[in-house]
Amino acid sequence: MNVGAHVSIAGGLDNAIANQIEVGGNCGQIFTHSPQVWQDPNIGEGEADAFRDGSATEDLGPWVIHSSYLVNLCTPKEGLREKSIDSMQKEVDAADRLDIPYVNVHLGAHTGAGVENGLDNAASALDELDIPDGVTVLVESDAGSGTKLGGDFEHLAEVLDRSEQDLDVCLDTAHAFAAGYDLSSEAAVEETVAEFDDVVGLDHLKYVHLNDSKHECGTNKDEHAHIGEGLIGEEGMRAFVNHPAIEDVPLALETPHEDGRGFAWNIEKVRELRGEN
């Protein structure tokens, strides 16, 4: 099973290798810079070489880069749209340098432009990217609060359909649950996975952010919990990670660091639920 965490690159991007190994992961996610500011990836040639070599030596991957939180593909504001496109171009170029196959992005919020215009904005913004061969942009499912898009599976399917790019999807379990897709039992997991397949297509599911939720299904509240200890719960998490459709999909955890537990505990829990321990 490919399971890992979103690990820090503090002190150098290549430090992600040791950080991932330390928590017991064999794949995972990184930011190339602080996600709270407009900043270009600042990756030295030595760092890039060390990251590629370390990933190959330790057999880590696939990795995914998470784009800046400031990126808003749905925005009707031209200045923000241009900044978002520029930021995404730099991320896909960084992925190419690092031999990382995926860049993950939220669609963002339409901020009053309306759902249809927001989806058109997102698709056309993505179409402006020059995505290198070997790199795929993943559109992430959202919790769906306010005017944010991506909470409905239909939003994801529409952007994939409207864009000329070959896009795929990252499903966040906590976000999907918050958006109203139940995952708290074996039957609920079967229904939600079947709906995803019907609307988006399981062939587009290339990565999963595996997180439990601190809030009830359908609340649109995005707050992650330890695996099996949130409102999705152990039954739901066990059913999800053992579902045949998820078997070969890499899992990246964004679980909290609290109660004396962090990524290592959660990764171990996932392996336990999968029956690997």
User: Could you read off the pLDDT of 211-265 as tens digits, one per residue?
Assistant: 999 999 999 999 999 999 999 999 999 999 999 999 999 999 999 999 999 999 9
Flag whether pLDDT at 169 surpasses 80: yes
Instruction: Give the model's pLDDT for residue 206.
Output: 98
Of 154, 190, 153, 188, nearest to 172 by C-alpha is: 153
Share of the chain above pLDDT 90, in %: 99
Instruction: Give the model's pLDDT for residue 231.
Output: 98
Are the beta carbons of 263 and 255 closer than 8 angstroms? yes
Instruction: Give the model's pLDDT for residue 276.
Output: 87
CA distance 68 to 70: 5
Instruction: Give the model's pLDDT for residue 112.
Output: 95
Instruction: Give the model's pLDDT for residue 168.
Output: 98
Flag whether pLDDT at 277 surpasses 80: no
- Of 37-46, 112-121, 146-155, 172-181, which range is least confident? 37-46
- The yes or no reply on domain 3-274 and CATH 3.10.129.10 is no
* Per-chain mean pLDDT for the chain: 97
Query: What's the residue count for the chain?
Result: 277
Q: What is the mean pLDDT of residues 13-31?
A: 97
Instruction: Give the model's pLDDT for residue 5.
Output: 98
Instruction: Give the model's pLDDT for residue 111.
Output: 97
Q: What is the mean pLDDT of residues 18-47?
A: 95
Would the pTM count as exceeding 0.95?
yes
Q: Mind listing the pLDDT tens digit for each residue in 48-86?
A: 999 999 999 999 999 999 999 999 999 999 999 999 999
